[in-house]
Amino acid sequence: MSKRIERFEPLSEREVRGYVCGPTPYDSMHVGHARTYSFFDTFVRFLRYVGYRVKLVINFTDIDDKIINRAREEFGNDAYLRWREIPERYIREFFEICEKLNIGRADHYPKVTEHIDDMINAIRELVNKGYAYVAPDGSVYFEISKVPDYGKLSGQDISKLVAGARVEPEPGKKNPLDFALWKSWKPGEPWWSTPWCPGRPGWHLECVVMASKYLGVPFDFHGGGLDLVFPHHENELAISYALYGKYELARYWIHVGLVTIRGEKMSKSLKNIIPVFEVLNKYEGESLRLYYSMTHYRKPLDFSYEGLSDAEQLLRTLYAACDFLKQLYKEARDEEAQEDSKVIEDVKKVEEAFLTALADDMDTPRAVSELIGLARIVTSRLIYMPEKISKETVLYTLQVLKSLGNILGILFKVDIDKILFDFIELLIDVRQRLRRQKMFELADYIRDELAKRGIIVTDTRVRTYWTLDRSRR
Partner RNA sequence: GCCGGGGUGGCCGAGCGGUCUAAGGCGGCGGGCUGCAGACCCGUUAUUUCCCGGGUUCGAAUCCCGGCCCCGGCUCCA
Map residue 355 onto helix, strand or coil.
helix
Q: Are strands 264-265 and 259-261 parallel, antiparallel or unpaired?
A: antiparallel
Nearer to RNA, 314 or 407 (CB): 314
Shortest approach of RNA to residue 233 CB, angstroms?
9
Nearer to RNA, 121 or 437 (CB): 437
Shortest approach of RNA to residue 168 CB, angstroms?
7
How far is 357 from 451, CA to CA, in rounded Å? 36
Nearer to RNA, 51 or 263 (CB): 263
**How would DSSP label each residue in 398-425?**
HHHHHHHHHHTT--------HHHHHHHH
How far is 380 from 375, CA to CA, in rounded Å? 8
Nearer to RNA, 15 or 158 (CB): 158
Closest CA to 90 of 76, 70, 106: 70
- Angle at Cα 164 formed by Cα 161 and Cα 170, nearest 5°? 95
Shortest approach of RNA to residue 362 CB, angstroms?
10
Nearer to RNA, 161 or 239 (CB): 161
Nearer to RNA, 388 or 392 (CB): 388
Burial of 146 per CB tally in 10 Å (0-12, 13-18, 19+): middle
Closest CA to 228 of 397, 21, 442: 21
Shortest approach of RNA to residue 196 CB, angstroms?
18
The neighbouring-strand residues paired with 458 are 465
Shortest approach of RNA to residue 81 CB, angstroms?
24
Map residue 139 onto helix, strand or coil.
coil
Nearer to RNA, 193 or 460 (CB): 460
How far is 19 from 207, CA to CA, in rounded Å? 9
Shortest approach of RNA to residue 13 CB, angstroms?
28
Shortest approach of RNA to residue 322 CB, angstroms?
13
Nearer to RNA, 104 or 365 (CB): 365
Map residue 132 onto helix, strand or coil.
strand
Nearer to RNA, 406 or 458 (CB): 458
Shortest approach of RNA to residue 258 CB, angstroms?
4
- Show Cβ contacts of residue 25 under 8 Å, excluding neighbours closer than 6 positions: 60, 61, 62, 67, 86, 87, 89, 90, 91, 93, 94
Residue 18 in contact with residue 220, Cβ under 8 Å?
A: yes
Shortest approach of RNA to residue 80 CB, angstroms?
21
Shortest approach of RNA to residue 14 CB, angstroms?
28
Nearer to RNA, 365 or 392 (CB): 365
| Count of helices and strands (H, E) across the chain | 16, 13
How far is 398 from 203, CA to CA, in rounded Å? 47
The neighbouring-strand residues paired with 60 are 111
Torsion sign, CA atoms 298, 300, 303, 307: negative
